[in-house]
Each structure stands twice: as C-alpha cells, then as structure tokens.
Chain A
C-alpha cells in the first residue's frame, strides 16, 4: 500500500519536474562586447540635453600662399604580376597590367594621392587662391581604354563635374558606389556623374563587365589635391600659409602611408597624416622614399 503510494508520488513528482527538463533554462551567453551602464546613462543625458554651443575658437586666417611639392620613390623595385583577362581579349589583351603599383624611372612611384584633409572654414579667399576659381565648376574627364581606367587614382574637387568616357570599342559600366553611380557606358559613349560629393577616402571604381578593372576617385571640396605622375612627382600650388594644415598621403597598396624617409630622415605619418605649417611663399619639397617591402 505504502509502496504503491510512494511509487505514484514519485511518478507524479517526475511528471511535475519533466517540463523543467524539457523547457530548460536559457543558457547564459557570454557577451561579445561589454557596455558600461554608467557611461551609457551619462552619454544619454548628454545627448538628450540642450544642443551644445558650437565651439567658438578663433580661427586664424592664412597669411599668404605656399607650395607643396615632392617626389615619391620606393626603396627597391617592385613589380606585380599582370592580371589575366577573362573577357574580350581581342580588345583588352590577354593580360592587363596590375595598376596597384606603377613605378617609373628610379623606382619613382606613380598614383600616390596627396590631399589636404583639414576642414577649411571657408571655400573662398583667403583660404582658396583665386587662381582656382576657373576650374571650380569645370567638367573633368575620366576615361577608359583597353579595359583600363586611364587614371588609376584620380583626384578632383567635389564642385566639379565628372564626365565618364569610354574610348573603347566595347561597352563598359562604370560603378562608383560612393557617388551612387553605376551606369552602362556604351562604346564611344559618355555619362556625367550627377552626384559627386565630398568623400572621406578614395572611392573604389569598378566595371562589372570587366571585373579586373579598378580605379580610385577622391573628391575634396577644395583644390588642394594631387596624384603623383610617372616620375613620382606632384605639386600643389597656392596652399594657404601661416596656418596649421594636415595633408593625408594615400596609396592603393598600403592605403594611408604610415611612414617614410623624407629628405633622408625617417618620418612617421600616423594614418597618413602629415602636419605642416607653411610660411608665405615657401616651397615645401618632399623627397620621400617608401619601404618597398610593404608594396609587394
């Protein structure tokens, strides 16, 4: 009798506890990142509060104009293997040169982008030299031939119009996602990019029809932007003098160039930032040698 009672009690108990085993408890998962409740509440009250007064720091005006020029070289020769062409070989050839590193005489490095990253308080005098007025709204051409973008790295003002040409006998489509542009450009055709805007880093440019085609376009609101030529040389004229400026130096293979040997002294450019303050009519000359090992 008791035995039976006991058995039914046990069975009942097991039945009662069964759902606990079946349903179980949610496992505690260790978080992939931590947050700090105090920080969050402080940040929240700061954001929710009245809008911050704009910092009214006096900005010194430039005192005149200066020039930044120079030459980029690699410390040793670098050659990248060409890219195998997968489409339209009669027009594009069987291989296409690898444009990621293009060097000229004496290991000079082409397609280094140098631009002013400082946010200028105005886009007029005394910050922008009048000699740039004519080109401010000009149309600049960006062409492609033999399934290669003719300017692998291309600098422009965001106020300019970008006209994409196709000098090939085959259709291309040029996609510059940063500008929301992706249009078929028939052989011999062209298209204006309607939405060029200031961007923070060079915008990858591609062609879906010929996937090996690649270029980078950078647009700054001011004209102080240059790309090195086949001799590794660049020149930016009429840069505001007498104020703190920050240039950024970029190359496809290493992105922002972190360091170099400039005029025989090692220089560190954290994230490609070069800080300068130029004197009136000064010409800053950089003879920069970059470590070839990073470009392989």
Chain B
C-alpha cells in the first residue's frame, strides 16, 4: 500500500530537492570584499583629547566627517584588494615601494597561470597582523607580545636612528629571521620576490595607517564648528538687548522687534544642535541706569542681530572637504582644481608620512678596536663596570643582575597609547573600540640569551647606540668629536666592551641563583 503511494511522490520530491540545489548553486555565496578597518580606538583617543572643550561643543567627530576620512584614505591608498599610493609632488614612489609588489601582496590568496603567488599578505600575515596592519588579526589576542601594529609607523629592531624609518634591509632581516622569543616566525623559505612584496606591503600599510592617524588628529584639532562662536554671540546680543531696554530704550520700535528675532535665531541654533539648551540660562548682567548715545547703540544691536541671522542661516557643519552637489562621479576641470586645493593639506600629510621612508639610512658600524674579541675577559670586566656605572646606567631598568627586573611598570608606545594615568575607564573605552588590552613592557632579561632584534654584536651595537623606538630603551650617550676629556659619555671602545659583557651575561654566574630561577619561572608562566 505504502509503496504504491510512493510512486508518484518520489519524482516530485526529487524535483524539489534539485530545485533547492539549483537555487543554492545559482545564488551562490556573496561576501563583501574586505575593507580596511578604521582606527576607532585612536579616533576615540583624539576625540577625548581635543574635543568637547567647552560646554555643549561636540565630543565626537560626526559620521559625515568620519566618512570623509574614509573617502580620502580610499582615494589616496585604495582598498585591500586594490592598493595604490598617492602621487605626491617631489616624491619618487619607486624609492619607497614597487607597485607590482603591492599588487602581488594584496588581494585574495591565488596564483596565476604561471604559478606566481598572489595575495601573499593574506596568506602569510593577516591572521596575526590583521587586514589593516593593526596587529589585531584573529590570533593577536592570544599572543604575547602582541603582533606589531604598523599604523604608528614605528619599528623597534632597525639600524637607523631613533625616530627614523627602518631600511628595507631591516625589514627583510625580520621577515627572514623572525623575532626570537615572539610568535613571529622566519619566512626564509619564501622566494625572495615574495619577501620583497611583503616588505613593500608592510610599508604601504604603515603609511596608510599613519596618514589615518594624522587625519583623525587633524579633524579633531582643526575643524571648528561655527556653532561654537554663533551661540556665544546670541547670548551676548540677548544681554545687550536687556541692557539697552533697562537703560530706557523700552519704547524704541527697533528694540521691541529684537526679542522676536532672537527667538528665531535661538530656534535655528537649537535645530543645529539641541545641546544649545544647555546654554539657555541667561547669565545675569549689570543693569546700567543710562547708556550714552542710546539710538546709536540700538542701531548697532540691530545690525549685529541682522548679521547673526545671516550667519545662522548660512551655517554649515564642519567637513573635511566640500563637494559641489550637482556634479557626478567625474568632476569638471574647475572642480578638480578646487578639490585638489582642499585636499592639499592631506596630500602634505601623505608626503610627511611617505618621505621618511625614502631617507632612512643605516648607521654605519665601525670595526671594533683591535684586540677586542668576545672572549676577552678584560674587555668583559670593563663592560661590566660600565653596565653598573652611572653613564650607561643599564641596571636602573635591566636590574642589578640583568634579569630585566629593575623596572617593570613600563608600557611600550603601542600599549601606552591606551593608558591614561589615573583613568582606567579611558582604557576600557579604547579596548571596547578595538584596542588590545594594554600590557606592561618588561626590560629584557639579559640572562636568557634571547635577543629579539638579533644576537649578533652589530645588532646589539644598533640597540645601544640608537635605543629602541616605541620601547623605553634610550640611546647611550656617545662621545662626539670635540668633547672635553672627562665628559660623561661612552667611547666606541666602551661600547664594544659593554656589548661583550652583555653577550657574556647568560654565562655569568650569579650571586643569588635562587632569584634567577624564580624570575625565569615567572617568565615561563
């Protein structure tokens, strides 16, 4: 019985199933192309620092301005699938990055017909460093130290002076060797061309991120809302009206008309920003018995109110640029010139963040003075004296035993940005906006024999003579030509002695071995 009934239904069900599959196959999976994330935590930081100064003035950038900044960035730097660089006057882009490299590193993971890889950044880097280079990819929160956020344009392990950009060689060294003691692995097995592409893409993300920060800082500092001056004018004109009325002008027709006009102005202001209400309580004024030349004063007030009426009508909220409403996607030549003029400050900022990449130069490392070798016990002893001495002052942070326990409440520049003294709620706000929870930066434990920036003497030389950007490690004071004898600075020979001592530290016995173990245990945990 049941079998008989199945006969007609089976094809129908089969047809239905095929239909479902067909619909699924035809509609497919559509996902939006990836976008750069906005640096919302930094935006919040500069808003807190630079806005809302006066009662009633806005405490955050408007959506329109935020969107303007996104538009400017996309116009100058493109998208994760289609990166580009702005043409900036007087700057040779080839000196910074190769645009073909950018294309190879960007976009989805793929390879072309000849097997050349594409989408390298998303293949190798994005899970830690994030699509925007914010050091906040999906794995970031589980890593210690956090992956580098490129958007500050700061790099720790490099051969250039503090405050300068790293050279391509510096970045290549890190990609090829990885960073000992961190989750950054070595990519030495990648073909050379792919490493070059990634280096260029890191520079690109760095420049884009730095410009984004500058744009947010600019918007919060420089854009002023005309409302902020219109409202006090309204208040002072109301006061002037009260003063002139009290001084005997009550019957003047012009003065009689003023309250109605002021009311209209107030209502217009209220429509612009409802927080105007906050100001509404009129401040008391002194009521003079008489005013000299009353008719002239009334005329003045009348003119001032007329001017304010006009200004309030002409009110425009602050924007990063103004576009003519009529024109379409392709502006006329005249509009282009006008737009370019408006964009000039942003192009200058772009130049500011791009130019340093063209001028970065390694500090040349002189040969160590003759006779100095890493196992020279005399040199090590002299280095030890310097390590404890007042000039290099290493122990003040690295601790009396070099365990990195001299000072452990530092933050690096990346975490430090989200810490405001005595305001833990500020940190909560930044973390909610997407910042990684700040972590303390510990001075390196020099007894572990792990050197993040490399263990070669030349690496230590660069760390000492430059300090470490973004961290708290300062440069050692170096003797310059012409310094009188006895100047409290280090000579080149001193520096090599110090390097020899630091390199011998992991093998030096320590007077309190228990403490070492305790410290090491802590670090492992």
Contacts and interface: CB of A to CB of B under 8 A. Distances in A.
Interface stretch (B184-192, B221-229, B305-313, B503-511): B221-229
Nearest to B20: A17
Contact of A32 (B14, B40, B409): B40
Contacts of B74: 35, 40
B6 A3 contact: yes
B15 to A, nearest CB: 11
Given A42-B330, A180-B163, A195-B163, A271 B224 contact: yes
A49 B66 contact: no
B7 interface: yes
A179 B467 CA distance: 14
Interface stretch (A145-153, A183-191, A215-223): A183-191
Contacts of A41: 329-330
Contact of A51 (B32, B89, B477): B89
Contacts, number: 208
Contacts of A171: 390-391, 393, 396
A23 to B, nearest CB: 8
Interface string B443-459: 00000000000000000
B14 to A, nearest CB: 6
Interface in A158-179: 171, 173, 175, 177, 179
Interface residues of A, number: 77
Nearest to A20: B24
Given A26-B29, A32-B40, A52 B329 contact: no
B467 A38 contact: no
Contacts of A87: 407
Contacts of A200: 221
A133 interface: no
B38 A268 contact: no
A59 interface: no
B404 to A, nearest CB: 14
Chain B, interface residues (CB within 8 Å), range = 35 or more
B330 A34 contact: no
Given A40-B74, A42-B327, A180 B162 contact: yes
B506 to A, nearest CB: 24
Contact of B474 (A34, A40, A42, A184): A184
B163 A181 contact: yes
Interface of A is mostly: mixed
A52 B339 CA distance: 9
Given A43-B321, A47-B340, A49-B336, A189 B488 contact: yes
Interface string B216-257: 000001101100110010011000000000000000000000
Contact of A47 (B70, B221, B343, B391): B343
B17 interface: yes
B461 to A, nearest CB: 16
B125 interface: no
Interface stretch (A108-116, A124-132, A252-260, A277-285): A252-260
B409 to A, nearest CB: 7
A48 interface: yes
A295 to B, nearest CB: 13
Interface stretch (A5-13, A64-72, A135-143, A231-239): A5-13
21 contacts: A2-B3, A2-B7, A9-B10, A9-B13, A10-B17, A26-B29, A39-B323, A40-B74, A46-B340, A52-B337, A55-B341, A182-B474, A183-B477, A186-B390, A186-B391, A191-B477, A201-B221, A256-B221, A268-B229, A270-B225, A271-B222
Given A171-B393, A273-B224, 20 more contacts: A2-B3, A13-B17, A25-B29, A32-B40, A34-B63, A35-B67, A37-B329, A42-B327, A42-B330, A45-B330, A46-B340, A46-B343, A47-B343, A49-B333, A49-B340, A173-B474, A175-B472, A180-B162, A184-B392, A184-B476
Interface of B: 2-3, 6-7, 10, 13-14, 17, 20-21, 24, 29-32, 35, 37-38, 40, 49-50, 53-54, 57, 63, 66-68, 70-72, 74-76, 86-87, 89, 161-164, 221-222, 224-225, 228-229, 232, 235-236, 283, 321, 323, 327-331, 333, 335-337, 339-341, 343-344, 347, 390-393, 396-397, 407, 409-410, 413, 467, 472, 474-477, 487-489
- A-B complex: 6 closest residue pairs judged by Cβ atoms: A180-B163, A258-B53, A26-B31, A46-B339, A43-B75, A52-B340
